[in-house]
């Protein structure tokens, strides 16, 4: 009964319902317009909603997340420019369809399969998160430490130019997260004797700088690229088309959910793996892959939307973000005084069921908004970037200032924006920086708890790790990721392959 009441909160409250609808609608545009990303939008939004009650703030952010992941496919199909990394695979077959004058059909099928994928991800979250949280209560501090490391390493190894730059970025994030007073001993860390650093570096300023300003500066390189215009015909797909691709959609939704649930991975990786899966299991596609195969749309789009529900699983049960957006959402929950992790599920189960319900509603709104107003949408997407970019920059500045009415935060944001711009130019991934900032406290606290409980002995910690199956698996995975990137590993497996 309590669960039902929590599920009904966003449904029965018109304000929350409206915010989810508004968020989803805005998310579709944010995700679709090249130069705007969901991560950027959610980071800016946190600064404006931090004074709100937690439910309305979460409702808006969840809507933007859900709509944004789907919205990226729109420009991938219409302009061959994925609005978000999760839509990269969608462009491979979506754009050829648009060139054949079938943009409407492509958008229609993508919308329906995104809804199916989203639904499977959310259902998995609802079914598996509560028992996982029960299990996670028994996790030892060392397990959390390994999980945090795993998250940073996975994001680092799967993005940018390789693991080394990923580890550098993750370590930088961990360092940034530890600036200020140590919460256990009140020792100053990286403050260099300045008052401004004693309270730590503003998480929102880092986030907006790295994802808003740096992205804006990158977009200046292609600011005057003319946009491609497409005609849009029939949108709603026939039942026969949906039914034909349902089995593949179910398989790739499962792939998306599982990959989304792995700490540190997200919709972009899920979409690419699902696309690869589709090319292997589809024996005779009507149209070859890369030339406009419907299967090439179904696989990535079911997977990236299923990954949304999946990404919430580690976030809500372990306090470990599934991807960069959930890392920012964890930051939002912290700002609202909540502590994501197994205890959140025990102490505030209503929050969990509210999130499930809000995700479900956002998924329904995505279907409604996705199948309507596409012709008007095409006009807005064609808006010149030379006008859009100054607006994004202005919103970023206002967002950074609004958190604590401090110009200092604006300078921090600008500094991190310029730094992030150079990092991007030279192939450093930015995702691990944010993950590092978010996970720094978790890693530091749990390392200290773990080592104190083993009487400050590394040998005892190793023995404890090897004796516990869970700790052992996590530890082995961390080591495996390191080893898999060494030249020795490459030599062994190249020999075997030959």
Partner 1 sequence: MQTQPRRPGELVFNILMLAGSLFLLWSAYGISGFEALSAPGAVPMVTTLAMVICALLILRDTLRKSPVTGEKLERDILPLPVLVTIAMIAAYALLLKPLGFVPTSLVFLAVMIRYLARCSLPRAVLLSVAIVALIYLVFRLVFTVLMPAGIVPEGEIIAWVSGLFAAEGN
Q: Which residues bind partner 1 (CB under 8 A)?
A: 48-49, 51, 161, 164-165, 167-168, 171-172, 174-175, 178, 182, 184-185, 187-190, 192, 213, 216-217, 220-221, 223-224, 384, 386-387, 389-391, 393-395, 397-398, 401-402, 405, 407, 410-411, 414, 417-418, 421-422, 425-427, 440, 443-444, 447-448, 451-452, 456, 458
Q: Which is nearer to partner 1, 369 or 416 (CB)?
A: 416
- Which of 447/472 has CB closer to partner 1? 447
For partner 1, the closer CB: 361 or 397:
397
9, 304, 335 from 311: Cα distances, Å: 22, 10, 20
3-class DSSP state of 363: helix
- DSSP-derived 3-state class of residue 387: helix
**Shortest CA distance to 203 belongs to which of 18, 88, 330?**
330
Q: How far is the CB of 196 from partner 1 (least distance, A)?
A: 15
Report how far residue 158's alpha carbon sits from residue 406's, in angstroms, rounded to the nearest whole number: 36
| Contacts of 195 by beta carbon, 8 Å cutoff, 6+ apart | none
CB 27 within 8 A of CB 64: yes
Residue 416: both structure tokens together = 């991190």
CB of 416 to partner 1, least distance (A): 12
> How far is residue 493's CA from residue 498's CA, in Å, rounded to a whole number?
8
- The DSSP annotation for 27-85 comes to HHHHHHSTT--HHHHHHHHHHHHTTS-HHHHHHHHHHHHHHHHHHHHHHHHHHS--SSG
Contacts of 95 (CB under 8 A, 6+ apart): 76, 77, 78, 79, 80
Smallest distance from the beta carbon of 205 to partner 1, in angstroms? 12
Task: Name which of 192 and 239 has its Cβ closer to partner 1.
Answer: 192
Query: Judged by CB, which is closer to partner 1: 43, or 254?
Result: 43
Nearest approach, Cβ of residue 111 and partner 1 (Å): 27
Distance (Å, rounded) from C-alpha 46 to C-alpha 43? 5
Q: Which is nearer to partner 1, 135 or 426 (CB)?
A: 426
Q: Least distance to partner 1 from the beta carbon of 186, Å?
A: 9
Pick 16 or 248: Cβ nearer partner 1: 16
CB 423, min distance to partner 1, A: 9
CB of 204 to partner 1, least distance (A): 13
């Amino acid at each position: 009964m309590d669960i039902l009441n929590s599920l009904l909160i966003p449904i029965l409250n018109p304000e929350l319902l409206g915010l989810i609808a508004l968020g989803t609608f805005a998310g579709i545009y944010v995700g679709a317009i090249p130069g705007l990303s969901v991560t950027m939008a959610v980071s800016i939004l946190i600064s404006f909603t931090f004074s709100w009650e937690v439910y309305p703030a979460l409702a808006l952010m969840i809507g933007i997340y859900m709509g944004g992941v789907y919205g990226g496919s729109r420009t991938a199909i219409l302009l061959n420019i994925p609005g978000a990394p999760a839509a990269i695979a969608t462009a491979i077959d979506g754009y050829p369809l648009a060139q054949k004058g079938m943009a409407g059909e492509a958008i229609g099928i993508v919308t329906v399969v995104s809804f199916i994928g989203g639904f499977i991800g959310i259902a998995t979250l609802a079914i598996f998160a509560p028992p996982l949280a029960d299990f996670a209560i028994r996790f030892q501090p060392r397990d959390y430490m390994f999980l945090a490391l795993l998250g940073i390493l996975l994001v680092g190894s799967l993005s940018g130019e390789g693991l080394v730059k990923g580890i550098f970025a993750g370590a930088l994030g961990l360092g940034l997260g530890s600036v200020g007073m140590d919460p256990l001993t009140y020792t100053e860390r990286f403050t260099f004797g300045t008052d401004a650093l004693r309270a730590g570096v503003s998480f929102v300023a880092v986030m907006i700088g790295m994802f808003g300003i740096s992205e804006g500066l990158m977009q200046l390189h292609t600011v005057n690229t003319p946009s491609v215009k497409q005609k849009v015909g029939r949108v709603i797909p026939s039942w026969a088309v949906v039914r034909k691709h349902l089995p593949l959609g179910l398989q790739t939704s499962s792939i998306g959910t599982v990959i989304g649930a792995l700490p540190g991975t997200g919709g972009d990786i899920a979409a690419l793996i699902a696309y690869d899966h589709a090319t292997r299991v589809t024996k005779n596609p009507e149209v070859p892959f890369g030339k406009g195969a419907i299967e090439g749309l179904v696989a990535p789009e079911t997977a990236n939307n299923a990954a949304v529900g999946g990404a919430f699983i580690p976030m809500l049960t372990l306090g470990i973000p599934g991807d960069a957006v959930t890392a920012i959402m964890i930051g939002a929950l912290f700002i609202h005084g909540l502590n994501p992790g197994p205890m959140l599920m025990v102490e505030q189960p209503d929050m969990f069921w509210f999130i499930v319900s809000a995700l479900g509603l956002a998924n329904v709104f995505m279907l409604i908004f996705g199948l309507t107003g596409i012709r008007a949408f095409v006009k807005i997407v064609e808006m010149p970037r030379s006008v859009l970019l100054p607006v994004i920059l202005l919103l970023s500045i206002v967002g950074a200032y609004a958190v604590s009415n401090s110009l200092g935060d604006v300078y921090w944001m600008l500094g991190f924006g310029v730094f992030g711009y150079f990092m991007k130019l030279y192939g450093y991934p930015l995702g691990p920086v944010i993950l590092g900032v978010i996970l720094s406290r978790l890693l530091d606290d749990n390392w200290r708890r773990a080592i104190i409980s083993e009487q400050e002995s590394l040998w005892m910690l190793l023995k404890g790790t090897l004796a516990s199956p869970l700790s052992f698996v996590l530890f082995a995975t961390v080591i495996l990721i390191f080893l898999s990137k060494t030249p020795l590993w490459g030599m062994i497996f190249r020999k075997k392959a030959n």
